[in-house]
Amino acid sequence: MRQKATVIELKGEDGELARVRVLRSAMCEGCENRSDGKTCACSVMLGTAREMIVDAQNPLSATVGDNVEIETETDAVLSYAALVFLLPIAGALLFYLIASRLFSSDGAAWIAALIGFALSFLPAFFIDRAKRKKLPDIRIVSVVRHEHEETE
């Protein structure tokens, strides 16, 4: 998955990491309601137009102010999405089914479902902590434009 971003800070001794600002708006790329250059209401309601700050590997030595393209492997994006969205639903369903078999109370099953939902975020928390100690999955693949260079 490729997205456009702007380098806002260099990190590490040789700038091997770059902190980049990404506008999450891929959902609206072909939308006819975006003709004025702004984001459509659907994107705003779903929260996809928000800005995101991430660290990326910087093999091309991009500098602060550069507009770049960043890339994340599709399987990594899908696995994170499954971890954050599907695992809590599966946890809630599993806890609900187990509690409904063990208890005769429907309320107890729903409470167990809430507990299962909450506990399902623990793997995401621990995986996130482990990932922060490694290089990010995101890398800069091209420098699109240097904003700080003068144009003639």
Residue-wise pLDDT tens digits, 88-130: 999 999 999 999 999 988 999 999 999 999 999 998 888 878 8
Q: Are 6 and 20 in contact (CB under 8 A)?
A: yes
| Residue 86: how many other CB atoms lie within 10 Å | 11
Q: Where in the chain is the domain with CATH 2.40.50?
A: 1-72+137-152
**Which pLDDT tens digit goes with each residue over 33-61?**
554 555 555 555 555 557 888 888 898 88
CATH architecture designation of domain 1-72+137-152: Beta Barrel (2.40)
This prediction's pTM:
0.59
C-alpha span between 57 and 135 (Å, rounded): 7
What does each C-alpha distance from 86 to 47, 91, 110, 117, 124 come to in angstroms?
19, 9, 18, 10, 11
Which region, left, alpha or beta, applies to residue 134 given φ > 0 means left and ψ of -120 to 50 means alpha?
A: beta
Q: From CA 30, how far away is CA 39, in angstroms rounded? A: 11
